[in-house]
Chains A and B, each alone.
With several copies, the nearest count.
Chain A
Amino acid sequence: MATMAQAIRMALHYGEENLGVTDIFGEDVGPPLGGVFTCTQGLKTAYNSPLDERGIIGCALGLALAGQRPVCEIQFGDYIFNTIDLLKIVGNSHWASIGQFEIPLVCMTIVGAGIHGSIYHSHSFESIASHIPGWKIVLPSTPIDAYGMMISAIKDPNPVMFLYPKALIRVKGTELIPGEPEDEKELHRMIDAPTGPTLYHIMEARKSWKPEWPKGLTDYQVPFGKAKIVQEGSDITIVTYARHVFMAKEAADKLKQTEGISAEIIDLRTLYPWDRETVMNSVRKTGRVLILNEDTPVTNFGEHIYREIVDTCFYELVAKPRVLAGADVPGVGLHPNLEFASIPQVQDIEKAILAICSEKP
C-alpha cells in the first residue's frame, strides 16, 4: 500500500493533470529532490523556490489572484510562523473584496513531533491555524485520506491548509487508493525516484528518470467537515486526529482487554470546519469524552472542541471531559525522555481514559 508521501504525490499528479494545478512549489520541492519528504517527486509543475517562506505564501497568493491554482509547500510546519500575517491576508482576501477575488490556494506543510525533531522541528500548527479565519484546515492520518483530502483541497476555490503528520508520512496505508496498483513494490518502481548515497548520485540517477503514473487514479475525494469513526464504542468518546488516532487506538485496545472499556475513536480529519454532528452524537451516546492532541495546552485547538462539546452537551455529560495535550513548555527536547514527557504517550492516554471512565456521575 502507498505511504502518505506517495498518496500526496499521486493526488498532486492527478491535480496537475486533471484539476488545473499550475504551480507546485516550495523549498526543495522541484527536481532533483522532489521534497524533503518525497511528496513532490516527478511532478511536472513542481519547482524549487528561494528559501523564503514569506515569499512562498506571497507568491502563491499572487498566483491565486491571477487565476492560477497553486499548491505551495512550507517545508516544515515549524517554519510557517513567520507568515501568520500573510495567512491572515490570504484568509481575508475573498471577504475584504466582498467576494470579488477567489483564492484557490493549497498550502501543504508537515507538522508535529515523533521524529526526534528537537526544539524546532516538532511543532504543531493547528491551534494557531484554526485561529486564522478564512481557511479550511485538514490533517489526515492515513494515506487514503491524504489522497482524498488533497483532491478536495485542490478542487476547493478557497484557501486550504493541508497539514500532514511527520510521524505518519512513511507509514503504509491499509486501504488501496482507487487506481493504486495492488503490489506496493510495483508502485515503488513506478513513482519513487531513484535514490543514492549523495546528492550527486541522486542528480545523476534522476537525469533520465521519469515516473510512470498509475493509470487508474481518480478524483476520489474525502469531503471537508466529515470526521471518521475509527472504531465504535459505548463508554467514552475520544476526539483526536493525526498520529494520536493510532496512539488512542493502542490505548483503547489495551483498556478493552484489561478493563473492558469500550471507546469510540473519532478521527476529526478536517479541523475547520469540523464535524460537530459526528462528535456530538458520539458524546451524547457515551457521556464521556477525551480530546487528544499534541499541541501545547494553552489556547489549544482541543479547547475549542472542548468548549463546543460542553456548550452543546453540558447536561448530557456524565463525567467531566478532559483535554490531553502537549506539555506547556517552549519546545520538545531532543532526548526521548524529554520528548515523551512533552507529547502525550500511549500510557498517558490510558491514564486519562481510566480517569474519565472511573468518575462517578
Chain B
Amino acid sequence: MDKALKLKILDLMITSRCMEERLIKMSKSADGFFWLGGPGEEAFNIPLGLLARPGQGLDYDYFHFHYRNGATMLAMGMDPKDEIRQMNNRATDPFSGGRNFCNHYARYEWNVVPVTSTIQTQWLVAPGTARAQKRHGGDGITIVTCGDAGTAEGDFHIGLNWATQPGHESPVLFIITNNQYGISTPYEQVHGTRTLASMGAGYGMEYGEVDGTDVEASYAKLQEVMAYVRKERKPFLLEAHVTRLYGHSSSSGANRVPEGSEQDPIETWLKKLIKQKLITREAYEEKFKAEVQRMNQLLAEVKQEPEPTGDSIYQHIFKEV
C-alpha cells in the first residue's frame, strides 16, 4: 500500500465518519428520522469500495448491500450530499426520492441494486446477478454483504447453495460483517460455532476471516479473494470482524459506545499513520473539523431542495410500456 492510498483511506474514513455523525444528529433533530449506518466498519468497507468496480452492466460488479455500507459507497465515489438527501428525505435523493431510510441505496449506473430492509434477502438475489455475469463472461463479480445475526435466516443457506449449484457456480463474494450483535442479541446467544465463515465448507466453497478493523489486513484479504472470485468465477465466503460504534441504530439511541468497549478503526489507523509519520494528529483534527463543517454546509444546502409531493407516490409503480 503506498502512502497516497493510505492517506486516501484516512480521508475517506473521515468523510464517512463525519457523514454518519451528521446523519445521527439529524436523527435526533427535526432533520431526519431513523438512522442506521456503519461507524466501526470503515477499515473494511472503504477497501471494499476502493477495490470494487462500479459501473453499469455485466462488465462491472453488482452490489447487494446491507444497511451499513455508506463508507463503501463513498469509496466508490458517492457524494455525501446524496446520503444527506436521503436522510433528509428530499425529492432530490437520487436513490429513492425521499421514499426510503438512509443507507438504503439504489444506483443504476453503478449496479447498486436497491437495498432492502428485510434482513438477508439480498443473499438470495445475489446469485441471480452473478449467474448473469458468469454467462456474460469477463471478470465482473457480485458483492453481497450482511450482518452476523442475519445469517440465521434460511436465506443464508440458500444464497450459498445457489452460488455452488453444479454447472451454475458463480462469482459471488459473500461478506458477513460480524459486529457480534443483532440489535441487542449477542453473537454467542444465537450461534453455536465460533466462525460463520466456516459454514462455507459444507458447500465446498472457499472461505476465510479477516480483522475488519485493520485497514491493511482488510485491503490485502479483499484483494486476494476478489482476485479469486473474478478469475475462478466461483463464490467466496468472507467474514469480517467489525465494531458498532454507535450501537444498532437511532432506535437504540445512536450514542457512542463507552470508551474502550469497542475498537475504533479510524483511531487505530490514525495511530499507525502517525507512527509512520504520514500525518500528525493535529492535521487529522484539522481535516476532521473541516469535514464536519462541510457536512453541515451540505445539510444546509440540501434543506433548500424540494420535498417529494404527496401525488408522487403514484410514480414508478410500473414502468410504462
Instruction: Give residues in A with beta carbon < 8 Å to B.
Output: 22-23, 27-28, 32-33, 36, 48-55, 57-68, 70, 78-79, 82, 85-86, 89, 93-102, 116-121, 133-134, 136, 155-158, 197-202, 327, 329-331, 333-335, 337-338, 340-342
26 A-B pairs, CB-CB below 8 angstroms? Answer: A36-B183, A49-B165, A51-B185, A52-B161, A58-B125, A58-B127, A58-B159, A62-B113, A63-B132, A65-B125, A66-B129, A67-B57, A68-B128, A79-B118, A85-B121, A94-B317, A102-B319, A134-B318, A136-B318, A198-B247, A198-B258, A199-B257, A333-B313, A334-B89, A335-B99, A342-B313
Are A97 and B108 closer than 8 Å at their CB atoms? Answer: yes
With known contacts A100-B108, A197-B255, A200-B258, A121–B117 Cβ distance under 8 A: yes
Write the nearest CB–CB distance from A340 to chain B, whole angstroms.
Answer: 6
Using A52-B153, A199-B247, A341-B311 as known contacts, say yes or no to A97 and B62 having CB atoms under 8 A apart. no
Task: Tell me if B58 counts as interface (CB < 8 A to partner A).
Answer: yes
Partner of A58 from the list B100, B124, B132, B318 (CB cut-off 8 Å) is B124
Asked if B29 lies at the interface with its beta carbon under 8 angstroms from chain A, I say no
- Please give 5 more A-B residue pairs, beta carbons under 8 A apart, in addition to A99-B315, A99-B319: A51-B150, A52-B154, A98-B95, A198-B252, A334-B100
Nearest residue, chain B, Cβ from A327: B313
B183–A335 CB distance below 8 A: no
Contact A62 B190 (CB under 8 A): no
Decide if B184 touches A33 in the complex (CB within 8 Å): yes
Q: Which B22-68 residues have a C-beta within 8 angstroms of A? A: 33-34, 57-58, 62
* B309 adjacent to chain A (CB < 8 Å): yes
Q: Is B132 touching A94 in the complex (CB atoms < 8 A)?
A: no
- Any A CB within 8 A of the CB of B225: no
Asked if B128 and A60 make an inter-chain contact with CB atoms under 8 angstroms apart, the answer reads yes
Most buried by B among A23, A48, A85, A86: A48
* Cβ–Cβ contact B252 & A199, under 8 A: yes
> Considering the chains assembled together, what is the distance between the CA atoms of A133 and B317 in angstroms?
8
Known: A55-B127, A158-B318. A96 touches B258 (CB 8 A): no
Q: Which residues of A contact B248 (CB under 8 A)?
A: 199
Known interface pairs A52-B161, A89-B121, A334-B33. Does A27 touch B97 (Cβ–Cβ under 8 Å)?
no
Given contacts A50-B165, A101-B108, A334-B89, contact A66 B308 (CB under 8 A): no
Asked whether A66 lies within 8 Å of B316 as measured between CB atoms, the reply is no
Partner of B133, one of A66, A97, A331: A66
Q: Main SS of chain B's interface residues?
A: loop
Which residue, A49, A53, A59, A338, has most C-beta atoms of chain B within 10 A?
Answer: A59
Which residue of chain B has its CB nearest to the CB of A155?
A: B321
In the complex, whether B269 has a CB less than 8 A from a CB of chain A is no
Q: How far is the CA of A72 from the CA of B2 in the complex (A)?
A: 48
Contact at A201–B128, with CB atoms within 8 Å? Answer: no
| Minimum CB distance partner of A72 in chain B | B128
Question: What B residues does A120 contact at CB under 8 A?
Answer: 116-118
Residue of B whose beta carbon sits closest to that of A134: B317
Question: Which residue in chain B gives the minimum CB-CB distance to A156?
Answer: B321
The residue on A at minimum CB distance from B310 is A341
Chain B residues with CB under 8 Å of A66's CB are 58, 62, 111, 128-129, 132-133
Chain A residues within an 8 Å CB radius of B153 = 51-54
**CB-based contact A51/B149 at 8 Å:** yes
Q: How far apart sit A119 and B308, CA to CA, in the bound complex (Å)?
A: 15
**Does chain A have a CB within 8 A of B251?**
yes
Decide if B318 touches A51 in the complex (CB within 8 Å).
no
Query: How far apart are the CA atoms of A121 and B192 in the complex, in Å?
Result: 30
- Beta-carbon contact of A48 and B313 below 8 Å: no
Given contacts A116-B34, A333-B308, A338-B98, contact A59 B117 (CB under 8 A): no
Enumerate chain B residues within 8 angstroms of A64, measured Cβ to Cβ.
128
Cα A67 to Cα B155 in complex, Å, equals 23
Q: Measured between C-beta atoms, what is the minimum distance from A43 to chain B in Å?
A: 15
- CB-CB nearest in chain B for A118: B101
Residues of A within 8 A of B125 (CB): 58-59, 61-62, 65
Given the known inter-chain contacts A48-B190, A51-B119, A334-B99, please indicate yes or no for A58 contacting B155, CB distance below 8 A: yes
B258 touches A335 (CB 8 A): no
**In angstroms, how far is the closest chain B Cβ from the Cβ of A195?**
9
Residues of B within 8 A of A102 (CB): 319
B234 within 8 A of A: no
A117: chain B residues at CB < 8 Å are 34
| Residues A334 and B98 in contact, CB atoms below 8 Å apart | yes
Residues of B within 8 A of A86 (CB): 121, 124
The distance from the CB of B119 to the nearest CB of chain A, in whole angstroms, is: 6
Does B162 have its Cβ within 8 Å of any Cβ on chain A?
Answer: yes
Quick one: which of B269-310 are within 8 Å of A by CB? 307-310
Q: How far is the CA of A66 from the CA of B119 in the complex (A)?
A: 21
In whole angstroms, what is the CA distance A82 to B118 when docked?
10
Asked if B162 and A50 make an inter-chain contact with CB atoms under 8 angstroms apart, the answer reads yes
Complex CA–CA separation, A349 to B142 (angstroms): 48
Q: From B164, which residue of chain A is reached at the shortest CB distance?
A: A50
B57, B98, B127, B142: the one contacting A335 at CB < 8 Å is: B98
Is B145 an interface residue, CB under 8 A from the partner? no
State the Cβ distance, A219 to closest chain B Cβ, in Å: 14
Q: List 10 tightest A-B contacts by C-beta distance, closest first.
A: A62-B128, A58-B124, A341-B310, A50-B152, A33-B184, A120-B117, A97-B106, A66-B132, A99-B316, A100-B108
B7: chain A residues within 8 A (beta carbon): none
**Chain B 156-189 per-residue mask, 1 if CB under 8 angstroms from chain A, else 0:** 0011011001000000000000000111110001
B47 CB to nearest A CB, Å: 25
> Across the interface, do B100 and A101 meet the contact criterion of CB distance under 8 Å?
no
